[in-house]
Amino acid sequence: MIIESILVMSGLGLGFGVFLAFASKKYAVKSDPRITQVLSVLPGNNCGACGYPGCAGYAEAVCKDENVATDLCSPGGQEVADNVSKVVCRECDSVKEQRVAKLHCAGGIAEAKTKYNYKGVKTCKSAAMLAKGPKACSYGCIGFGDCAKVCNFNALHMGPLGLPLLTKENCVACNACVKECPKNLFSLVPKKSKVHVLCSSNDKAADVIKSCKVGCISCKRCEMICPVEGKAIHVNDNLAKIDYSKCISCGKCVEVCPRKIIINEKKKN
């Protein structure tokens, strides 16, 4: 009886083994070897700047869909775009204009007034839930460094005046700080551009003056002096904004701004 049971179990085991071996070959999902090759040429930062969940997500997408561009890796630049194109046998896409993160606020602790003493969790997201934060300007940087915490490239750190400072050389335009800031104070701007507006307030001039020493008062002097045809800077909804596709970084708007809220990085170098 015992011998028969052993023989039956052995037979069943052999039968299942043969079936599984057959099934594994017949129904095996073939992986694209190019995905591994693309992964090997990507920098491996997993920053998400490409719009996909990490380098593996981008590698799979660019191999499966020919409409996915080969130049989406910001940290890798043109060299990585060339290598990805070679792997997927496509004509190389030209890398888009290099960009960096820019904070559109200059209202640090020395410039911006506060409306209450915040005692809660020290994150910008938490503070923003309470009357839009402790600063008198509801558009201003709260200064608890949520943006710096999510930066994986050591491009952002908090300065002594309660504002995040950018190390441009380290920024890969991954968009993490843009997504994290509850006040939407960051944007990705062309790396070559030197003139920037450091304010995001849409308040009227009288309210801006009460809450911040450096906020835009929508005087339009910048717009009037801009020499570019069609103007590269416009004041809309009480705020000056630069059209980077037109701006020639001449700095004329910087010179006439009474609140010194428009800066020219050329003069810093």
Q: Determine the Cα–Cα distance for residues 246 and 156; give it in Å rounded to an integer.
A: 28
CA distance 14 to 16: 6
Chain Cα centroid distance, residue 52 = 13
- Closest C-alpha to 244, from 206, 188, 201, 199: 188
Start and end residues for every CATH 3.30.70.20 domain found in the chain = 100-192, 194-269
Alpha-carbon distance 237 to 269, whole Å?
32
What is the pLDDT at residue 22?
A: 55
| pLDDT score, position 30 | 60
Q: What is the pTM of this model?
A: 0.77
Spans of the chain below 50 pLDDT: 28
Partnered with residue 262 across adjacent β-strands are 197
Residue intervals in the chain for CATH 1.10.15.40? 34-87
Class in CATH terms, 194-269: alpha beta
Under CATH, to which class is 100-192 assigned? alpha beta
For 70-97, what is each residue's pLDDT tens digit? 888 888 888 888 888 888 888 776 667 7
Q: Which fold has domain 34-87?
A: 3-methyladenine DNA Glycosylase II; Chain A, domain 3 (1.10.15)
